[in-house]
Amino acid sequence: PPDPPPVGRPGWRRPLRRMPAALRRAGTLDGLAVAALAAGALFVATGLLPTADALATVGRTGPLLVFLVAVVVLAELTARAQVFDAVAVRIAILGRGRRWALFALLVTFATLTTIFLNLDTTAVLLTPVMLAVAARLGIVALPLAMTTVWLANTASLLLPVSNLTNLLAADRLGLPVAAFAGRMAAPQLVAVLATAACLWLLHWRRDAAARYPVPVPHRPADPVLFRVAAAACVLFVAGIVAGVTLAAVSVACAVVVLVAFAVRDRPAIGWSLLPWRLPVLVTGLFLIVETVGRHGLSSLLAALVGTDPGPAGIGLAAAVGAVLANLLNNLPAYVAGEAVVPAGHTDQLLGLLLGVNVGPLVLPWASLATLLWLERCRAAGLAVPWLRFLLTGLVTAVVVLATAVPALLLTAG
């Protein structure tokens, strides 16, 4: 059969020319990562950040970085084994040619993946599925890609495993899984519904009446690699559900697939599989935020967030968290904000958590999930129209915050 058409419309590369000059060059993310790490190293070398504090920061982020590298390698090889193609075709078959049904299926899939697996996993594993759906059906890829990245962030409120910030918050508050989910269920439901509405109005509505051809089931080129990669993904999910640490389960599953490819498709294995930008960037960001926090950021945040445990304080904490996540990154933003929320202000801390989880939709470095999504889009050749990304993300972030914060207030103690 002929190769599937490229993602997007025939002029799908044109949005690249509309990208801001600072992001247009191929090595921009590389430069940003190196610059962030260099700045962090400079702070340590000059004594602005004590070496002991820097080592403690690196120690806290180590398991996260191991997870990021391993899960990207797993996703790369799983995509080469055509597992994502098979899943994409199955989703398209279930939609029966109806765009609205395809939209509902993809929103549901992205939401459940984020809730039960983690937003970074959604960005890595689901983005190739979305892009494969677009390629197989010959439809515009951007709406499907935006469905992934927005829901990877806004659907990450319900469970501690859904977001690493949730794990930090649950540990700080001493909330078990059931209690945490009980507090976040209402804002999570509202956030997903608001995100779906924005996705439909801003990205899906234009071609809603069109139908797509229902494809035939996909047959992988190498059934053995296909089965091994699919089994590794299932084991990855099972490990997370069973409570195995993210770093351990991701490394184990990546090693299984690497061994299979070493036996059956050796050329697929190379240094290019390692996503070095992400761990370098994350380490640099944490060192920068740690330094800035010691030299004025904590005082500024304390003044901005305040000490009001009531509705105004909760809403203010959410707004500050969303803005800070877009400026820095949601993980260091939460860590910095958590440090200034008074002990015992559970609702205010949950407001901050809501803001850093659902707010980072505007700038590409606002969350690790968005950076992972961007890596997947670049690997698939999808050029993101950055002005549209920024504007629609801003609108959606405001809408989701404005609706999810009142839902959180309903569960406030």
For 223-240, write each residue's pLDDT tens digit.
999 999 999 989 988 887
Both tokens assigned to 57: 């920061």
CA distances from 28 to 20, 31, 266, 284, 346 (A): 11, 5, 30, 15, 40
Q: Residue 117: what pLDDT?
A: 76
**150-185 burial, b for 16+ CB within 10 Å, e for fewer?**
bbbbbbbbbbbbbbbbbbbbbeeeebeeeebbebbe
- Whether the pLDDT of residue 13 is over 50: the answer is no
**398 vs 292, higher pLDDT:** 398
Q: Where is average pLDDT lowest: 69-73, 93-97, 110-114, 313-317?
A: 69-73
Do 403 and 190 touch, CB atoms closer than 8 A? yes
- Whether the pLDDT of residue 22 is over 60: the answer is no
* Cα 136 to Cα 82: distance, rounded to the nearest angstrom: 12
Q: Which residue stretches of 265-385 are H helix? A: 277-292, 298-305, 311-327, 330-338, 346-358, 368-380
Q: Which range is most confident: 68-82, 182-196, 234-248? A: 182-196
* Cα 35 to Cα 41: distance, rounded to the nearest angstrom: 10
Confirm whether pTM is higher than 0.85.
Answer: no
Going by pLDDT thresholds of 50, 70 and 90, the confidence category of residue 139 is confident
- Percent of all residues in the chain with a pLDDT value above 90, rounded to a whole number: 39
Q: What mean pLDDT comes out for the span 7-32?
A: 46
Mean pLDDT of the chain: 85
Going by pLDDT thresholds of 50, 70 and 90, the confidence category of residue 29 is low
Neighbours of 55 (CB within 10 A): 11
* Cα 351 to Cα 367: distance, rounded to the nearest angstrom: 18
* Cα 334 to Cα 325: distance, rounded to the nearest angstrom: 8
Closest CA to 283 of 30, 33, 45: 33
